[in-house]
Amino acid sequence: MAGAGGGGCPAGGNDFQWCFSQVKGAIDEDVAEADIISTVEFNYSGDLLATGDKGGRVVIFQREQEVLAQPRRPALP
């Protein structure tokens, strides 16, 4: 998944999950009304996810193909 912010999400088999986590400022600060996500939409294929907040901002995420790493053999001494 592409997008700003930190966070992560464990992979689970052939399924994919959308995860997003972002913190700006002190954790104990009150959340501004404008920062609350009010809309979430997927495109028909599920490759794009758009979120919109009450402040009028829109963020679009694009799903990335999962690349599985091949296991490495230990180096010989």
Output DSSP code: residue 26. -
Structure tokens, 30? 């009150």
pLDDT at 74: 72
pLDDT, tens digit, 9 for 90 and up, residues 35-60: 888 999 999 998 999 999 999 999 99
Long-range Cβ pairs for the range 16-23 (8 Å, 24+): 16/63, 16/66, 18/49, 18/61, 20/51, 20/61
Domain boundaries, the chain: 34-62
